[in-house]
Chain A
Amino acid sequence: MTADPTGAPARPRSATTAMLDVRGLQKIYEGRGRSVEAVRDLTFTVAAGELVCIVGPSGAGKTTLLRCIAGLLDTTAGEVVLEGERVTGPPPGMAVVFQEYGRSLFPWMTVRQNVELPLKEKKVPKDRRRRLVQDSLEAVGLADAQDAHPWQLSGGMQQRVAIARAVAYEPHLLLMDEPFAAVDAQTRADLEDLVRSLWQRLGVTVLFVTHDIDESVYLGQRVIVLSNSPTVVLEDVPIDLPAERDQLTTRSLPRFAELRSHVYELIQLAKSGHRPA
């Protein structure tokens, strides 16, 4: 590993400087004549440089929460604060990787153009832009596919392109919305390791939303378990597994099994409608 390819600035990692602060977040969807409370009261913080996973039963408002954090959706009450600034629209230091990679990448552009476009929009100078695109595609193992169109690649490769696009953007916060839900199990394991290694290399803060319990325990430093809708935080589970993780040994650790069972039980509780006192 040579020099940090994206040159993400080093940030002080103290408990007081929260990268992301979600306070009393509530989201009610107002429909015709009826309103649905998707998220009731969510409060948590993510420190700079952390990798935090959010799991919850299906329909727990995970995507709603992520869209509120991304500034793509207005909140009904409470606030989202990113790097000390209140989020009212998509903030500058953030990139989102969507689950639907096939629709998030633009089919009329090549892989390189897809990765480069947000940088152009950000007015990154040409030389630096070139290097960022090259480095990020190399980091996801797709340096040879630059001139292909996304639809000429497999699903896993397309999601790698979307990750490269996010990484090249040099975000401080990387939001991932069930990014591997649509790829096969083997590709999924590879992509999980890719996220871990990019996170360790770049020092970026990652908030990873998933419905997969194993995935959340394997990836995260913390796992925030959500209740069913209207959503509150059920438990914030610290994951005290070694920092160096790999698919075979980490997943066969007794501690992994314990944490997995614990999160599993929480999800079962959440499904049965249990709420914290």
Chain B
Amino acid sequence: MTAATLGRRSPPPSWLLGLAGLAGLVGIVELAPRAGLVDERYLPPFSAMAAALAEQAATAEFWRSLLETLRGWATGLAIAMVAGVALGLVIGGVPPLRAALNSTIEFLRPIPSVALIPLAVLLFGTDMRSTLLLVVYASFWQVLVQVLYGVRDVDPVARETARSYRFRPFTQVRTVIWPTALPYVMTGFRLGAAVALILEITGELIIGSPGLGRQIAVAQTSGAVAAMYALVIVVGLIGVTVNVAARATERRALRWHPSIRRDLAG
């Protein structure tokens, strides 16, 4: 400890380094077009993007689109979470059912959600429900598969303890299976949240359901390149915020878990 502090200065905190990296990216995006390294028509300098973002933020259209995107994303994710967790607990808790459905799940899961776009359009047109279908389909599998792993992870000794104290099936689910599966549910939530955002934007871009994705497409076709980038940045920020929030929730809910706790007894 003392040797280290004397020998060399302690490295700067990781958040500072992360910020420096981000500043570097902004610097490059600002300087490269100005120096003529890239065509300004396709990559305007960062300051132009920021200006376009400020301009966007002054319009009601932008805020309405942002709200549409967030609503579609949250609704889809919520449906996927509820369905994934409920079905995961049931399928995972009944071994014959699990064995019967295993191959079906393995077949349906890898189907890329975007492959369902034609079907979604046939069913719902350019309505927000089309995009919702994609979002739910994509994030549902992420959640379901994680919950299935989680249910399988229940310690046999914990299970026998619960049985020997004659816990009712519901109590076993609530006090043993659910807490064991919770870390997996959290992972499923984080993965599902990321995938849901991707599909929400994809749906809006391609199907044209209302939201930021459609605004990006509109900006692109009308040649508002800086505005297009500004919207892309906003979408990126949503992604970062969601991930940070999910991790914070995870840390709070899983204080007891070996990956987060600090054992006093070695």
Contacts and interface: CB of A to CB of B under 8 A. Distances in A.
Interface of A: 67, 70-72, 90, 92, 94-96, 98, 100, 103-104, 106-109, 117-118, 121-122, 149, 151-155, 157, 169
Interface in B159-208: 160-161, 163-168, 171, 175-176, 179, 182
21 contacts: A67-B160, A71-B164, A72-B160, A90-B163, A94-B164, A95-B165, A96-B161, A98-B157, A98-B160, A103-B158, A104-B158, A106-B179, A108-B257, A121-B167, A122-B166, A149-B256, A149-B261, A151-B261, A152-B264, A152-B265, A154-B265
Contacts of A117: 165, 175
A108 B161 contact: no
B166 A106 contact: no
Contact of A90 (B155, B166, B179, B258): B166
Contacts, number: 70
Given A94-B164, A95-B164, A108-B179, 16 more contacts: A72-B163, A90-B163, A98-B160, A98-B161, A103-B155, A104-B157, A104-B160, A104-B161, A106-B158, A106-B176, A107-B256, A117-B175, A118-B167, A151-B258, A151-B265, A154-B265
B208 to A, nearest CB: 46
Given A149-B261, A155-B265, A169-B165, A121 B171 contact: yes
Contacts of B166: 90, 92, 121-122
Interface residues of B, number: 23
B161 A153 contact: no
A108 B175 CA distance: 9
Contacts of B176: 106
Interface of B: 155, 157-158, 160-161, 163-168, 171, 175-176, 179, 182, 256-258, 261, 263-265
Nearest to B156: A103
Contacts of A122: 165-166
Contacts of A153: 264-265
Nearest to B264: A152
A237 to B, nearest CB: 28
A169 B166 CA distance: 11
A44 to B, nearest CB: 21
A225 to B, nearest CB: 26
A100 B157 contact: yes
A168 to B, nearest CB: 11
A96 B160 CA distance: 9
B184 to A, nearest CB: 14
Nearest to B172: A121
Contact of B175 (A70, A106, A151, A155): A106
